[in-house]
Structure 1
Amino acid sequence: MPEEESILLRGLEAFAELGYDRASARELARRLGVSHNFINDRYGSKAAFWRAVVDSALGAQLAQLPQVDPSVDDAERLRRIIGGFYRTAADTPLMARLFVDELTRDTERLDYVYEQYIEPTLRTLVPSIERLVASGRMASIPMDVLFFAIIGPISGMVEVPLARRLGRPEAASPEQLEATAELLATLVVNGLLATGSGSRG
């Protein structure tokens, strides 16, 4: 693994475990195996290092999202995008741990994540959602409710110790995880469509 990639991964592990405030510059340097001046010298500040860590993890995650054929039905398009989101979340469970802390705090870090990642990702869903609402297949749902309806099932991909206690195989294969992501996405989209007033024959 290249040095930069290794440093960013260890930074992600530290922020996910400790949270931003408890991940002091001294503790980060210890975990990275570098001098105490390294983060300031290389990145400029702890905040800039945190952004580099998030960019590395989320950038890789978003790059893995499938390119969905725009000609498919909007409900199917929504299901494929959400399923892809769940599959990539399983590959970077540390991001979910980092977000548990960050998404509850009104900080510049939340602004950064929202502006750089959450809002652009939601933009990919909005056209399909608007068409489904206009056609009566989905009720108009406030964006905050819609977001949490979609984001909640990520726990089913990353909370592996609990999932095992609920019956998931000890060593779930990539195919099993993909099937879980697809099932979760289907349940979410079917639930959203069930709120519409149109015929679902």
Structure 2
Amino acid sequence: MGARAESTRRPGRPGADTPAVPDEESILLRGLEAFAELGYDRASARELARRLGVSHNFINDRYGSKAAFWRAVMDAALGAQLASMPPVDTSVDDAEYLRRVITGFYRSAVDTPLIGRVVVVEFAQDTERLDYLYEHYFTPTLRLMTPSIERLVAAGRMAPVPMDVLFFAVVPPVSGMLDTPLARRLGRPESASPEQLTATAESLAALVVNGLLATGTAGPS
């Protein structure tokens, strides 16, 4: 009897019509796009799989859960952003260092607006996801600025500011770097160039830092 042709796929061997799984970088970027557009709750496992171009059980098999996939997406996006922040430099004037950190933060938002969209949504929800962002990314960013701020306050160059006020003075303005319908209604060009957006980031950073250093206005007693 002649050799029988193999009519079925062997276990573990992909069929000829099985789509190739995207590489890890593409998967995480598509995940970021989905979470930025839909938010966490509306980004169902099925919808994520469709957008990623993978099987419906891929996320659970690869990452363990949708929550773990979200953390992997944030680590890929925000980890690179945090790594790009200027390191502590004691040879630089504290006000100048503060300006550099805040400017770098806003410039990163220009380069990666999808991150800003995710973060802005997460601000308003008391979830484990907010805890994760706070512990792994917001706190390290504030830690970069804290020594300079303490020295500026001690030198009388900056008024004492509670941490929550400082945070909301620095971080929420990042929404101004996002390409939103409101920004266009307020006068931003329909197709703002990268150079224009970078200039906007620098102007916003200067406005925030100058405000923080304006010690002439008394705060609430």
1:155 Cα offset (Å): 1.9
* Match status 1:32 vs 2:58: no
* Match status 1:158 vs 2:216: no
Q: Give the 5 Å matches for 1:58-73.
A: 58-67=78-87, 69-73=89-93
Secondary structure of residue in 2 paired with 1:168: coil
Residue 68 of structure 2: which of 48, 55, 79 is its match?
48
161-170 or 29-38: bigger deviation: 161-170
* Structure 1 residue ranges, 4+ long, deviating more than 6 angstroms after superposition: none
75-84 or 173-182: bigger deviation: 173-182
Q: Which residue of 1 aligns with 2:189?
A: 169
State how far apart, in whole Å, the 1-side matches of 2:159 and 2:56 are. Answer: 54
1:89 Cα offset (Å): 0.8
8 Å CA contact retained: 2:95, 2:148: yes
Instruction: Report the residue type matching 1:173 in the other structure.
Output: S
Residue 99 of structure 1: which of 104, 113, 119 is its match?
119
Q: Which has the higher helix share?
A: 1
Q: Which runs of 5+ in 1 are unaligned?
A: none
TM-score, normalised via structure 1 length: 0.90
80-89 or 12-21: bigger deviation: 12-21
Equivalences, count:
196
State how far apart, in whole Å, the 2-side matches of 1:92 and 1:135 are. Answer: 36
Q: Which residue of 2 aligns with 1:81?
A: 101
1:160 Cα offset (Å): 4.2
Instruction: Report the residue type matching 1:153 in the other structure.
Output: P
8 Å CA contact retained: 2:29, 2:73: yes
8 Å CA contact retained: 2:152, 2:158: yes
Instruction: Report the residue type matching 1:136 in the other structure.
Output: G
Instruction: Report the residue type matching 1:133 in the other structure.
Output: V
Q: Which runs of 5+ in 2 are unaligned?
A: 1-21
8 Å CA contact retained: 2:28, 2:72: yes
C-alpha change, 1:8 and 1:115, in structure 2 (3 Å) is same
Q: Which residue of 1 aligns with 2:151?
A: 131
Instruction: Report the residue type matching 2:60 in the other structure.
Output: N
Q: Which residue of 1 aligns with 2:162?
A: 142
1:178-197 deviations in Å (ceiling 9; x for gaps): 22111111111111111368
* Match status 1:179 vs 2:217: no
State how far apart, in whole Å, the 1-side matches of 2:105 and 2:190 are. Answer: 23
Instruction: Report the residue type matching 1:17 in the other structure.
Output: E
State how far apart, in whole Å, the 2-side matches of 1:108 and 1:152 are. Answer: 20
8 Å CA contact retained: 1:138, 1:196: no
* Match status 1:9 vs 2:29: yes
Provide the identity percentage: 79
1:90 Cα offset (Å): 1.1
64-73 or 173-182: bigger deviation: 64-73
